């Protein structure tokens, strides 16, 4: 393909996206945490000694200069730990964001929080500003696993924060957990799931611990000072999660996400359905008009860049129709809903069958996906989802 043809193809993706575009969703990144967890490779930094006000001013300027979608279908405030700051700072930057969009009380508005970072007062600030969903990083109900994970909260803090969120009238609460932590037993994970379900949260996210390059855990494991749990045990935990939660009415709608029907996270579903989103803040990513834009990750460089240029985009990737179709298939396959190839073809004007039929046949023959009205992961495929995605890329 010649560069000229590629350019045409890319602008075709942009035109397709503009045509079909509902307003993009809005993501705002708050990169501060009380401490940096040793397994975490998100763009987050210990808050002590950071210029929080300087960051929030840069964020407001970026939103003004680039322009925030006025009527985003969903709003997600993530991090980092958006609730790590004092209540008045929390109120100030929530108002900064909300003042730039049209009010809509029915819009899903999620804020991530750590149990130790919450107070009744902060919950009241969130509630007053229309937060509909609190995503609480519980991670474990066992203090020794919380200690392994380097978390600053204890199990009783989760209970307290959860009760405050419920008493404070936050409509939906999600709990995040991490399993396959070194030395965790199947019995402990079973107890964690049982306890979580007994609280009746609206949503559960359960992630297997991953050792990400660049993290303290990664270095420790490489040096032989930490061991992953046995692969067979991790698989048993993965299977137990599905069985236990399904039985309790939480359907797996994505590899690591479970909810009763109607309580899925709409913001994340938007990502998996390849819908557009606008991301603001250090390291935030946007997907707009078929183009992926990534912001500067470092806090000082982010603020300087916004000051000088009104934005901090350091990487732009224009997708071809084939790239965009491939992504839609890979992302859709992560979900229970799967992906309708006819819909991908209609959107991007290409034949996904021509591109992927051989791969599809191989995966169907291996019992990893099913190919009926839609393409979906088969029962055996869920735990191998990353490898399956790689086949399409």
Ligand X SMILES: C[S@@+](CC[C@H](N)C(=O)[O-])C[C@H]1O[C@@H](n2cnc3c(N)ncnc32)[C@H](O)[C@@H]1O
When CB distances are held under 5 to 8 angstroms depending on the partner's kind, the choice from ligand X, ligand SF4, none that residue 36 binds is ligand SF4
Under the binding rule (CB under 6 A), the answer on residue 42 touching ligand SF4 is yes
Nearer to ligand X, 81 or 148 (CB): 81
Q: Which residues pair with 46 in a beta bridge?
A: 33
Q: Which residues pair with 316 in a beta bridge?
A: 293
Q: Extract the tokens encoding 171.
A: 């409509």
Tokens 């998996």 locate to 272
When CB distances are held under 5 to 8 angstroms depending on the partner's kind, the choice from ligand X, ligand SF4, none that residue 290 binds is none
Give the closest residue to 277 by CA, choosing from 90, 80, 78. Answer: 78
Nearer to ligand X, 295 or 320 (CB): 295
Residues 64-93 that bind ligand X (CB under 6 A): 79, 81
- Cα–Cα distances (Å) from 332 to 206, 266, 292, 373, in that order, read 19, 14, 18, 14
Q: Extract the tokens encoding 185.
A: 């037993």
Residue pair 163/122 in contact by the 8 Å Cβ criterion: no
Tokens 């397994």 locate to 39
- Given 137, 201, 279, 281, the residue binding ligand X (CB under 6 A): 137
Nearer to ligand X, 139 or 148 (CB): 139
Nearer to ligand X, 151 or 326 (CB): 151
Nearer to ligand X, 265 or 375 (CB): 265
Residues 131-169, buried b or exposed e (16+ Cβ, 10 A)? bbbbbbbbbbbbeebbebbebebbbebbebbbebbeebe
Query: Nearest approach, Cβ of 150 to ligand SF4 (angstroms)?
Result: 8
- Given 26, 27, 30, 44, the residue binding ligand SF4 (CB under 6 A): 44
Binding piece for ligand X, criterion CB under 6 A, among 16-24, 206-214, 263-271, 339-347: 206-214
Q: Which residues pair with 315 in a beta bridge?
A: 294
When CB distances are held under 5 to 8 angstroms depending on the partner's kind, the choice from ligand X, ligand SF4, none that residue 176 binds is ligand X
Query: Nearest approach, Cβ of 202 to ligand SF4 (angstroms)?
Result: 20
- Taking the C-alpha atoms of residue 145 and residue 238, their distance in angstroms, rounded to an integer, is 18
Query: Nearest approach, Cβ of 161 to ligand X (angstroms)?
Result: 11
DSSP for 10-72, written as a single string: HHHHHHHHHHHPPPPEEEEEE-EESS--TT--SS-EE-TT--HHHHHHHHHHHHHHH---SS-
When CB distances are held under 5 to 8 angstroms depending on the partner's kind, the choice from ligand X, ligand SF4, none that residue 148 binds is none
Under the binding rule (CB under 6 A), the answer on residue 31 touching ligand X is no
Query: Nearest approach, Cβ of 227 to ligand X (angstroms)?
Result: 15
Residues 87-146 that bind ligand SF4 (CB under 6 A): 114, 137
Query: Nearest approach, Cβ of 40 to ligand SF4 (angstroms)?
Result: 3
Give the closest residue to 285 by CA, choosing from 294, 276, 277, 297. Answer: 294
Query: How big is the site for ligand SF4, counted in residues (CB under 6 A)?
Result: 11
Residue 296 C-alpha from the chain's centroid: 19
- Cα–Cα distances (Å) from 157 to 117, 119, 136, in that order, read 9, 10, 11
Q: Which residues contact 138 (CB under 8 A, 6 or more apart)?
A: 115, 158, 162, 175, 176, 177, 196
- Given 62, 157, 176, 188, the residue binding ligand X (CB under 6 A): 176
Under the binding rule (CB under 6 A), the answer on residue 201 touching ligand SF4 is no
Beta strands in 221-323 (DSSP E): 251-254, 257-259, 277-280, 285-288, 291-295, 313-318
Query: Nearest approach, Cβ of 205 to ligand X (angstroms)?
Result: 7
Under the binding rule (CB under 6 A), the answer on residue 83 touching ligand SF4 is no
Under the binding rule (CB under 6 A), the answer on residue 199 touching ligand SF4 is no
- Taking the C-alpha atoms of residue 338 and residue 336, their distance in angstroms, rounded to an integer, is 5
Nearer to ligand SF4, 44 or 205 (CB): 44
Q: Extract the tokens encoding 221.
A: 């494991």
Residue pair 79/319 in contact by the 8 Å Cβ criterion: no
- Given 195, 207, 273, 366, the residue binding ligand X (CB under 6 A): 207
Query: Nearest approach, Cβ of 150 to ligand X (angstroms)?
Result: 10
Nearer to ligand SF4, 72 or 137 (CB): 137
Chain residues binding ligand X by CB under 6 A are 33, 39-40, 42, 79, 81, 112, 114, 137, 139, 176, 178, 207, 209-210, 212
Chain residues binding ligand SF4 by CB under 6 A are 33, 36-37, 40, 42, 44, 79-81, 114, 137
């Amino acid at each position: 393909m010649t560069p000229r043809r590629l350019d045409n193809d890319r602008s075709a993706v942009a035109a397709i996206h503009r045509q079909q575009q509902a307003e993009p969703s809005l993501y705002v990144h708050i990169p501060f945490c009380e401490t940096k967890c040793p397994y975490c490779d998100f763009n987050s930094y210990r808050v002590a000694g950071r210029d929080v006000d300087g960051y929030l001013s840069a964020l407001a300027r970026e939103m003004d200069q680039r322009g925030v979608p006025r009527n985003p279908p969903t709003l997600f405030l993530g991090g980092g730990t958006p609730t790590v700051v004092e209540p008045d700072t929390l109120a100030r930057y929530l108002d900064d964001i909300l003042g730039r969009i049209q009010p809509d009380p029915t819009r899903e508005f999620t804020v991530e929080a750590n149990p130790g970072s919450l107070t009744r007062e902060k919950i009241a600030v969130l509630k007053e500003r229309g937060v509909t969903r609190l995503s609480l990083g519980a991670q474990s109900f066992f203090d020794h696993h919380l200690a392994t994970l380097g978390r600053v909260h204890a199990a009783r803090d989760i209970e307290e924060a959860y009760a405050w969120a419920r008493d404070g009238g936050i409509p939906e609460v999600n709990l995040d957990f991490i399993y396959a932590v070194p030395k965790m037993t199947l019995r402990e994970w079973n107890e964690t799931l049982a306890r979580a379900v007994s609280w009746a949260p609206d949503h559960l996210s359960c992630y297997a611990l991953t050792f990400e390059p660049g993290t303290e855990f990664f270095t420790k494991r490489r040096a032989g000072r930490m061991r992953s749990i046995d692969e067979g045990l991790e698989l048993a935990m993965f299977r137990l999660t599905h069985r236990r939660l399904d039985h309790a009415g939480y359907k797996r709608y994505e590899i690591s996400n479970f909810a009763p029907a109607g309580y899925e996270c709409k913001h994340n579903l938007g990502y998996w359905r390849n819908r557009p989103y606008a991301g603001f803040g250090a390291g935030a990513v946007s997907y707009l008009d078929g183009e992926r834009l990534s912001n500067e990750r470092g806090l000082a460089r982010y603020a300087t860049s916004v000051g000088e240029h009104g934005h901090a985009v350091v990487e732009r990737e224009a997708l071809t129709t084939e790239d965009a179709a491939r992504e839609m298939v890979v992302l859709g396959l992560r979900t229970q809903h799967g992906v309708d190839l006819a819909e991908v073809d209609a959107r991007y004007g290409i034949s996904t069958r021509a591109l992927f039929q051989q791969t599809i046949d191989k995966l169907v023959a291996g019992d990893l996906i099913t190919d009926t009205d839609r393409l979906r992961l088969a029962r055996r495929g869920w735990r191998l989802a990353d490898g399956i995605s790689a086949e399409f890329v």
